[in-house]
Amino acid sequence: MGFIKKNASFFSRHAQGKITKINRGESMLFVVKVLLTRKSTFRYFTSMSEITSNPAVSPESHDATLRVLLVDDQEDILHVMHLILERRGNFQVETASSGMQALEKAESFAPHVVISDLSMPEMDGCELMSQLRCKPCLTPFKSIALSGYGSTYQEAAKDAGFDTHLVKPVDFDQLFEVIDQLSPL
């Protein structure tokens, strides 16, 4: 529920929700209609298992050509962004929940695009990008910094090696537009 509240601007344009039985100890139902294709068509599903088992929208049904490494320490944001990227784009997505995990995965995954949160514990996004840019074994890649701090971190992100900076909550239409502009494929 916290993720929905934090990202209300995205969900107000791309999803509908209804909450029932909010009393303590009772169940809560939230139905989300998620935009799944670049053609702006909606598919409606009632459960995660229906989404992941549907061959029409499974990642295997698309040629995954653009490799995207997605880094965020907030698991709910990471999960939803991963799902939306795989379902809406022609992407193969690898996730990391920390800067250290992203460094480990980057060498074997060889991303075309890295999308990283800036504010993470232990290693922030700027430190991650600085280290990724110093790795000679990585093929050239493009990068997008994400932060909830607006333009405050824009210059730091650029100095660390990010190609662009977007403000959270992420406008997914804008994110896909930026990925298309940066994409080497």
User: How far apart, in whole angstroms, are the C-alpha atoms of residue 33 and residue 113?
Assistant: 27
**55-77 pLDDT tens trace:** 433 334 334 489 999 999 999 99
Q: In sequence order, what are the beta bridge partners of 69?
A: 94, 114
* pLDDT for res 177: 92
What is the pTM (predicted TM-score) of this model?
A: 0.68
**112-139 pLDDT tens trace:** 999 999 999 999 999 999 999 999 888 8
Would you say 99 and 123 are in contact if contact means Cβ atoms under 8 Å apart?
yes
| 35, pLDDT greater than 60 | no
How buried is residue 51: exposed, middle or buried, by Cβ count under 10 Å (0-12/13-18/19+)?
Answer: middle
Closest to 78 measured CA to CA, from 105, 41, 55? 105
Mean pLDDT of 167-183: 90
Q: Measured in Å, how far apart are the chain's first and last C-alpha atoms? A: 36
What amino acid occupies position 112?
A: H
Question: 138 or 96: whose pLDDT is higher?
Answer: 96
Question: Whole-number mean pLDDT of the chain?
Answer: 75
User: How far apart, in whole angstroms, are the C-alpha atoms of residue 34 and residue 171?
Assistant: 14
* pLDDT for res 55: 41
Backbone angles phi, psi at 89, to 5 degrees: -120, 180
Would you say 154 and 118 are in contact if contact means Cβ atoms under 8 Å apart?
no
CATH number of 56-182: 3.40.50.2300
Q: Where are the domains of the chain?
A: 56-182
